[in-house]
Structures are given as C-alpha cells and as structure tokens.
Chains A and B, each alone.
Chain A
C-alpha cells in the first residue's frame, strides 16, 4: 500500500491488464519500509515492552535451570534440580494448593456476584446513579488497603466483625488467626474490593448490558417473551463474550494473588496463606532466583493448561451448539 495516511483497505476495481512496473525506492525505504520514521515513534514502546517483557520471559526460563550461590555469587547449571526441589517442597506445594483454593472460590463467586449486581444496577429506577457510585467505589481501592482493612475488621481481638457476631448473640471467631478461615477471608476480601472484585465484574457486565440495543429486548418482549425468556434469548448471548473474558481474566488475577496477602496476613498464620506469588517474592528476597523462576514457570504452565482447557471447552461448546442447531433444523 502506498497511501500516505494508512487506512482501511480501499476497494479497487478489478480488471485485466498487466501492472506497471513499481517505482524505484530509496535504500532507507527498502530497509525500514515506506515510513521509516515510524520506528522513532514506536521506539520507546519497543524498548520498554521488548526489554522488560519479552526478554525477561526467556531469561526467566534460563534462570530456572540455574543455581545461584548468593554468598559466593557464582552461578552453576542446575538442570531440572530447581523444578525437582520445588515439587518436593511442602511450602511450594502448600502455596500452589492455597492459590488453587483461592482461585477456585474466587473466580465463580466474583463472576456470579458481578452478574447479579450488574443486572440490579441496570434497572431504571430513581437514584440509580447513587447506587452505581456506591457499588463501583470498591474497584478503586487498592488490594493492599483492602487487605489491611479486612485484617483489622476481622481481627480476633478488636475486629468489628466479632463485635457484630456478639450483637447477634454468636460466639467470637478466630478469623485471621486460624489458617483455614484466613484463606476464606482472603477470598472475601478479594471479592469485596480491588481491580478484580465483584464490583469490577459488575462494571464489565453493566457495560455489556448497556451495549445491548434496546430494540432487541423490546422486540423480544413484543414477541411475548417474559423477563426470563428475554434474559435467555437476548441478554445471556450478549453477555457470553465478556463472561469468557472475565473467566480468563479473573483466573489470571486469582493465580497472581499477592497484594491482599501482603496487606493482611503476610502468609501467616504459619504458612497457611502463602500463595505462589508470595512464595516467589520470598525467594527473591532470599536471592534464590533459580527457585523463583522455576516456580513462576510451573505456575504459568498451569495457566496455559487452564487457557487451553477454556479454549477447548469453548470449541466443544461451539461444536455442540452447531450440532444442536443442525438437529433443530
């Protein structure tokens, strides 16, 4: 193409006839393309993104096969030792388990909660603007602040949560001082606030809901669909793409959990709330780069499996839907 301001493809008339010979181009143009100065425009982005995202991915892989002695500052090839060590390490296995428990609870609850909240916030009633403001505020709260806040609210000694239980005539709970409960509270805190909370899912769902043309729901109701019918026929299909997006996004967020733990339990009590990224954080603090890198590659392996499963599931669902439609026809 040689339009000066590149734009969408222009349709050209097709006709017979040989193409005239192309014009001669300068050397710079031949090496860098038609607009060589474009590289100056993208240079900052390329340096940062390639240097601090692409290169590290491969570097990380290399590191995971190395063993660095923090005192002697020597590096030796460790092969799969780091991976083997990790798989035998109870602390790492615990971290993976905690991460999976967290993600397994957090993802479905946040998406369902977000969907419900979005459907509520999509109602045309008075003061809906105020409701939306109240409901969206938690998105902007930092996960650390949220962790700190919840660790105070659910403090077994001074927490207001035990105060409320007492008002209701129930006995006090150990909350964050009990490992099991601490992990569940982290889920609760994650659902409540931060960039992947229920409110975040609601923002996404609400945007998708408002993208549905009103004519569609109106047409469905004219066609005699009741509210549940309209939801099934119009709303649900429109929400499917964002639901898939949220499923992936929330899963990645769950597996990357760090801020909340950092702000509240710092892994405790014991190691009961150490999650994978917290484990890597500790290994960096101990300069155990090889172990940390291997841990991140193990987790990403998990992520890739999840993504493949999701993708495969979608394919399967699509095929089944296609077959169903075929059978119906």
Chain B
C-alpha cells in the first residue's frame, strides 16, 4: 500500500471509490440522460449510450398525453398531509408516553411496538375493506388515513423527549404554562432535529409507496406520481423517452430534498436501525 501510495498522486482508495459510486449512480444518470433523448435515438440499434443531441420530446409527450400534473399534485397532497399529521400526532403521543403517567401507557406502548414488526400484507385486506366501507377507496383519503401516524415516529420522538432535561418543562410549568402550551412553546422547538427526521421518513415512505396505492387507487386521476409512472409505462411501451421523463419527474422532488438536506436524510434513514 505504501509503495502504491508513493507512485500515485492521489489516495489509492479513489481507485475503488470512484468506480463503485459511479456504478451505483449510473442508472440514475442514464435515466436523466435518456429523458432528454428522442425515441428514435433510443430505438437505434445498437442503442446509443451518449447521445449527440438533447431534446425535450419525452417531456412534451408526457405532458401532452398524461395527467402527470395531477399525479404530482396528488403525491404532494398525500405526502404533505401525512408529514404534517405525523409530526403533530407523533409528537403528541410521543410526549404523552415520555412524560405522563397514565393507566394503560405500558400496554399501549407495547401494542405500538408490536405493530412495527407486523408485515403489511397481514393488514392489507381488512384495511382495504375498512377503507371501502368508509367510502375512501379510489380517493386520496385512502392513501392518507393509514399513514396519519406511524409507530416509528411515536417511538423516535418519545426517545427524544425522554432525553430532554425535565427541568425545562418544570420551569415552564412553574411559570404558568399548561401541558399543551409546554409542548408547543418549549418541547417542540427543541425537538426540531427529531421532528425533521420524522418528516423526512414520512415523506420518503409516502412519496415512494406504491404497494398500497396500487391496491387502493383505480382511476387515473387519483394516481400518485410513482403509480402513474408505472401505469404510463405499461400503456406506452413505444415512448421510452417519455417514460424516462416521467421517472425523472417522480424522482426529482425527493432528489432535490435529499441534496438540500443530505445530513438529515442520512441520519434519518440510519436512526431507526442503529438506535433501535
């Protein structure tokens, strides 16, 4: 290793890191590239790897022939409502479990813990029937209601609240704040990192989820973005660049959020496993 290091003007680990990471990112890079190619460029055999010119045909076709704007909006509504609801409801439940003594707290906590390990196919059919009876099937409500609260968020915030010094809340209590006010004025402002984690995880899961939407949604106008992309692909085999354009649009919001707050994302993804 030392001899190699002496010969090279850079650290030899780059020789492994560069190809490995490029390989991982390559399909995505090609996805972006292909979305700017024409179908003719893509259909040529042998297929083009690096195109000679870039076009917007794929995007034109996509916006002209699908309700991609509606899908985008649907995804935004579902993810947005779920993120806000999770931050709110998980905070409330997490705070109660962390700082209040009440009958049944142990039992309820155990029940919630148990739901973390229940595989979703077990609940799939009854959830479908419940949503059907509520008249929510094939509406965005069916996608929102089951994700309003996640046990993960409750546990994460409970752990965070337990680690806060209780004296802060006691001081506010003596200053005349009610519990509810203490939660809003003292505890939540201090819990921003944990709330960000809950928001990120909820956003990631609801934005990318397709298993439940595929079952609960049947009309095109109620598709979420990934769902619409999948249905568009099966309808438009002949439009690969438009399919890639749809993929790019489905990925872009998460990608931008990831690039803007990479640390939070990585910490959020890791938080469940390493701490739990």
Contact = CB atoms under 8 A, between A and B. Distances in A.
B43 interface: yes
A45 B119 contact: no
B119 A256 contact: yes
A11 interface: no
B196 interface: no
A72 B246 CA distance: 41
Interface string B88-130: 0110110111111111110010011011001111111111111
Interface in B71-95: 85, 89-90, 92-93, 95
A329 interface: no
Interface in A1-40: 1-2, 4-8, 31-39
Nearest to A52: B146
- Overall SS of chain B's interface: helix
Interface string B239-253: 010011011001100
**Chief secondary structure at chain A's binding surface:** helix
Contact of A280 (B124, B151, B273, B274): B124
Contact of A162 (B46, B90, B127, B179): B46
Contacts of B85: 44
Interface string A255-284: 110110011001000000000110011001
B258 interface: yes
A299 B119 CA distance: 9
B140 interface: no
B105 A33 contact: yes
Given A57-B118, A163-B49, A142 B112 contact: no
A167 B49 CA distance: 10
B4 interface: no
Contacts of B121: 256, 276-277, 280, 295-296, 299-300
A109 B34 CA distance: 29
A135 B101 contact: no
B274 A207 contact: yes
Contact of B46 (A166, A211, A292): A166
Interface residues of B, number: 105
A155 B238 CA distance: 12
B247 A137 contact: no
A114 B244 CA distance: 27
Nearest to A257: B211
30 contacts: A37-B100, A38-B96, A42-B93, A44-B92, A45-B90, A45-B112, A52-B123, A52-B127, A57-B118, A57-B122, A134-B21, A135-B20, A138-B24, A138-B28, A140-B204, A140-B254, A141-B208, A142-B254, A144-B229, A152-B243, A158-B43, A162-B46, A255-B119, A256-B211, A259-B209, A262-B211, A262-B214, A263-B233, A299-B119, A300-B121
Given A41-B100, A141-B28, 10 more contacts: A6-B98, A42-B97, A52-B145, A126-B11, A148-B233, A207-B270, A242-B273, A281-B215, A284-B128, A285-B215
Interface of B: 10-11, 13-14, 16-18, 20-22, 24-25, 27-28, 30-31, 34, 42-43, 45-49, 85, 89-90, 92-93, 95-105, 108, 111-112, 114-115, 118-130, 145-146, 148-149, 151, 154, 162, 166, 169-170, 173, 179, 204-205, 207-211, 214-215, 226-227, 229-230, 233-234, 240, 243-244, 246-247, 250-251, 254-255, 258-259, 262, 265-267, 269-270, 273-274, 276
Interface of A: 1-2, 4-8, 31-39, 41-42, 44-46, 48-57, 59-60, 63, 117, 120-121, 123, 125-128, 131-153, 155, 157-160, 162-164, 166-167, 192-195, 198-200, 203-204, 206-208, 211, 242, 245-246, 249, 252, 255-256, 258-259, 262-263, 266, 276-277, 280-281, 284-285, 289, 292-293, 295-297, 299-300, 303
